[in-house]
Structure 1
Amino acid sequence: MDSLDFAKLHADCETSHRFMVIYRIYSRSWDEAKTTAWNIAIEQSVECPYCMVEGTTIADTIVGKIEQLSPDGPEHYLAVISYTPEAVGAEFTEFINMLFGNSSLQKGVRLIAFCLPDEMNHTFPGPRFGQEGIRQLTGIHQGPILMSAIKPLGTPVSRLARMVYDLACGGCSIIKDDHNLFNQTYAPFEERVRACVEAVNAAYEDSGNRALYVANCNGDGEESIQRAWKAR
């Protein structure tokens, strides 16, 4: 996108108490794009037929509002939709859900950018480390940072560790457990984490490539916290 689009978005945010989101919509006509944008505004906010809230305070405040809809090349449109901060509160996960929840499942819809008013910038100041922090950790100061997952489910620890070693030697900077690797008998959590960390260190010694290994610490209840401490 042209940086002018972002500049205008920020300017609009400065004069509004709502946060703005840009979606790119694939559509064959402006009317069709408008219908899609309206469906996004409904789905990302109240998530029910509009007739259920029409004429109420919810319709006036909570429902997303289409602020702008403009062409963006052949069969594509940019929709700027605003939402009220009150619908998000101080819940970051709800903020992400409202940006691109169920609409992420719709074909031909892409989240492009968002802009927050000052009140939300104080609530959500941004990542602790950010892009520069990740670059410092990986030692990749320019260009793309490569990331991959080790898989598939059912692979023993020794083979998973070998994948980590090969990926790190090959220049992959971030290597993560696949999301379905937990504490299965063929790849127990502690054994897997220890072996993969050793593989990352061995790859650094052999190739000079510094990589990060990210363990999947998900678990039932407090088990996820305990696994995170073990991994650390």
Structure 2
Amino acid sequence: MTDRIEADYLIETAEDPSKAAQVMAGEQSSGTFVSVPGEDAPGVRVARARVERLEVVGEAERPSLPGATPGRPVLARATLSWPLSNMGPSLPNLQATVAGNLFELRAFSGLKLLDLRLPRAFADRNPGPRWGIKGTRRLTGVAAGPLIGTIIKPSVGLSPEETADLVRTLVEAGIDFIKDDELQADGPHCPFPDRVRAVMRVIRDHADRTGKKVMFAFNLTGEVDEMRARHDLVLAEGGTAVMASMHSVGLTGMLALARHTQLPIHAHRNGWGSVGRHPNHGISYVAWSKLWRLAGADHLHVNGLANKFCEDDESVIASARSLLTPLWEDAPMVTMPVFSSGQTIRQAAGTWAALGTDDLIHAAGGGILAHPQGPKAGVESLREAWAAAKAGEDIANHAAHSPALAGALEAYR
């Protein structure tokens, strides 16, 4: 690894792709639309971005976005690099460099940031995931196997007491992890302080009786001072996780929280579709998530197989693998993937086969709460589905010895 930042892009342009890539490099470093005095100064020459690689990979049927140079566009993969000295190991300024004004350039009818490779200095400057997989397993007491999790449903509308009643049902069902829905914040029907105190009474009482302390990720998304105060309340009440919506709080908000927190951060990716859904434009989750890993996310959502959203299975698994891939050999900064969105016992085998690890949270809302035999059977059925997957056993055969799994197979077709 050098002291240069590298970014891979898919570009869509009706212009000469080599010239278009040079336009990108100029716009995102020392150039502008005309020559200006001082462009040949030694420091400016050093600061220029370079086009390291360029490969034409096909043609687009039509321009993905309006406003670009007319003509049928070609598709190319381009790698640009910048010296670290342009911005230092600053995540907000890195984002402005690799994912800034270049999306608006007329030369491109589509442009997607695919991946990033960063100098080791970013590990020293930024907090990274302080708990990650090992810390999460330690806090939950789940030494092996996936963490079986769920989401408070209905997402909003429950009072603190009603939320606590549902949590009581879930902890008695044997759940490992529970999270607020990202829409549940600090509204007057369910104030954050009242919700935390009511829920933590249930979790503490259960831990005192059984020795198992369920992890609950409270959604503290808000302004920086609000998030710090909410974190401190969760910590004082004995909580073991907090949750923040990354797209809402931004990199600086996440960094401020990570530098303050004494608890794992469950990072929710709601809003990512606005930058990642288009195949030829925006930011891939692989690239986007690296920023949030560095900013301190201990858990990151990746959707799930056969999810209720638009993302295909290949993309989901690529996202999960990227979170488990070390950023540097001596500073891995791996983050625990969270599989969610329409998950049931049906996804366990495919997830295990594709990922080859159970270092993940498998969060099923309806897949647990809607089990015909109740939430306890919902939790048990997920554990049995994963046991069958890891043993290479057909789930239907395994269900012959598990009424909970048999009930789930009938319910979730």
Normalising by structure 1, what TM-score? 0.58
Alpha-carbon distance change, 132 to 29 in structure 1, aligned in 2, over 3 angstroms: farther
Amino acid of the residue matched to residue 136 of structure 2? I
Give the C-alpha shift of residue 191 in structure 1: 0.9
Question: Could you tell me which residue of structure 2 aligns to residue 86 of structure 1?
Answer: 85
1:214, distance to aligned residue in structure 2 (A)? 2.1
Contact 1:34 1:69 (C-alpha < 8 Å) held by counterparts: no
Deviations 1:29-74 (A, max 9, x none): 8955973x5676567x46x983267663686455543211236799
Instruction: Figure out how many residues of one structure are paired with residues of the other and give that number.
Output: 212
Query: What is the letter of the counterpart of residue 123 of structure 1?
Result: R
Show CA shifts across 1:193-228 (max 9, x none): 223435656888999997532223345563432222
Q: Which residue does the alignment assign to 1:109? A: 112
Q: Which residue of 2 aligns with 1:66?
A: 51
SS at match of 1:50: coil
- The answer to whether the Cα contact below 8 Å between 2:155 and 2:181 also exists between their aligned partners in 1 is no
Q: Tell whether 2:230 aligns with 1:227.
A: yes
Q: 2:6 aligns with which of 9, 20, 29?
A: 20
1:68–1:162 distance in 2 versus 1, CA, 3 Å: farther
* Distance in 1 separating the partners of 2:169 and 2:111: 36
Alpha-carbon separation, structure 1, partners of 2:103 and 2:151: 22
Matches within 5 A, 1:57-206: 60-62=45-47, 64-70=49-55, 77-100=76-99, 109-116=112-119, 118-124=120-126, 126-138=128-140, 139=142, 141=144, 152-161=155-164, 173=177, 175-178=179-182, 181-182=185-186, 184-198=187-201
Measured after TM superposition, the shift of residue 190 of structure 1 is 0.8
The two structures have a TM-score, normalised by structure 2, of: 0.37
Aligned-partner Cα distance in 2 for 1:144–1:74: 44
Contact preservation (8 Å) 1:160, 1:196: yes
Q: Which amino acid aligns with 2:93?
A: E
Over 3 Å counting, the alpha-carbon distance change for 1:115 and 1:154 in structure 2 is same
What's the offset of the Cα at 1:229?
1.1
Deviation at 1:181, TM superposition (A): 0.9
Question: In 2, Cα distance between the equivalents of 1:162 and 1:39?
Answer: 59
- For 2:101 and 2:148, locate their aligned partners in 1 and report how far apart those are by CA, in whole Å: 28
In terms of mean alpha carbon deviation, does 73-82 or 142-151 score higher? 142-151
Mapped contact 2:155–2:180 kept (Cα < 8 A): no
State the 1:145 CA deviation.
7.9
Deviation at 1:178, TM superposition (A): 1.6
- 2:158–2:189 CA contact under 8 A, matched in 1: yes
Closer, same or farther in 2 for the Cα pair 1:97/1:165, shift >3 Å? farther
Amino acid at match of 2:129: P
Native 8 Å contact 1:149 1:176 kept in 2? yes
8 Å Cα contact 2:177-2:215 kept in structure 1: yes
Asked if the contact 2:56–2:77 (Cα under 8 Å) also holds between the matched residues in 1, the reply is yes
Q: 1:200 to 1:61 in 2, by over 3 A?
A: farther
CA distance in 2, matches of 1:163, 1:34: 59
Is residue 90–residue 125 contact of structure 2 (8 Å, CA) maintained in 1? no
Aligned residue type for 2:200: V
Query: What secondary structure, in the 3-state scheme, does the structure 2 residue paired with 1:192 have?
Result: helix
CA distance in 2, matches of 1:204, 1:85: 48
1:94 Cα deviation (Å)?
3.2
Percent of aligned pairs with the same amino acid: 21
Q: In the alignment, is the contact (CA less than 8 A) between 1:155 and 1:186 conserved in 2?
A: yes
How far, CA to CA, are the matches of 2:24 and 2:51 in structure 1? Answer: 9
Question: Any conservation in 2 of the 1:157–1:195 contact (CA below 8 Å)?
Answer: yes
Stretches of structure 2 lacking an aligned partner (at least 5 in a row) = 61-74, 236-413
RMSD: 5.0
Contact 1:151 / 1:178 at 8 angstroms: preserved in 2?
A: no
In structure 2, do the counterparts of structure 1 residues 152 and 125 end up closer, same or farther at CA, with 3 Å as the change threshold? closer
Q: Distance in 1 between matches of 2:150 and 2:227?
A: 23
Quick one: which of 32, 50, 57 aligns to 2:32?
A: 50
SS of 2:54's equivalent in the other structure is strand
- Does the aligned pair in 2 maintain the 1:164–1:199 contact within 8 Å? yes
In the aligned structure 2, how far is the partner of 1:42 from the partner of 1:147?
A: 47
The 1:79–1:137 alpha-carbon spacing in structure 2 relative to 1, beyond 3 Å, is farther
1:216 aligned to 2:202? no
